A = this chain, B = another copy of it.
Amino acid sequence: MSDPSLLGSLFRLAHSLKRQTHQQIEQMDLAIAPMHVRVMKIIDGSAPCTANDVVQFLNRDKAQVTRLLKTLIEQDLLQREPNPNDKRSQLLTVTESGAALMQRMAVVDATTYQTMTKGLSADELDAFHRIADQMAQNLAER
């Protein structure tokens, strides 16, 4: 199994999408990167949320997540408050300006999604999503 292959296609698609997001962020004149946006989306979509939750979700080193969160907090896109259940931890939420950015990104994302999925049915997209999740789960179960 080699390029061009299923994996090759997957990596090329992921790379294209990452560049798209990067260009969108540049056009918005934001001092963040695609991974920052990704983290905000995770936090925006679930409450309560801790750094460790993001670590688990992204399957990334906690050092990386800590740094991503730090930048977002510095730019007033995220905020943290003490976790009443664990003094070591803080609860993360999106600020008002962060929520505004999430809304702007949602509009852009919808456009990108429409472009990307042209000529593909809802069934095909569902299958793609399901198969991707199945594959990731298979790999995680090793």
Contacts and interface: CB of A to CB of B under 8 A. Distances in A.
Interface of A: 1-17, 20, 38, 41-42, 44-45, 57-60, 106, 109-110, 112-113, 115-120, 124-125, 127-129, 131-136, 138-140, 142
Contacts of A41: 2-3, 8
Contacts of A12: 58-59, 132, 136
Contact of A119 (B115, B132, B138): B138
A102 to B, nearest CB: 8
Nearest to A18: B11
23 contacts: A1-B113, A2-B41, A2-B42, A3-B38, A3-B45, A3-B57, A7-B17, A9-B136, A10-B13, A10-B132, A11-B14, A12-B59, A13-B133, A13-B139, A15-B60, A16-B136, A16-B140, A17-B139, A115-B142, A117-B138, A124-B127, A124-B131, A128-B131
A38 B17 contact: no
Given A9-B129, A12-B58, 9 more contacts: A3-B41, A5-B129, A6-B128, A17-B139, A115-B138, A116-B135, A120-B134, A124-B127, A128-B132
B6 A109 contact: no
Most chain B CB atoms below 10 A, which of A112, A113, A139, A140: A139
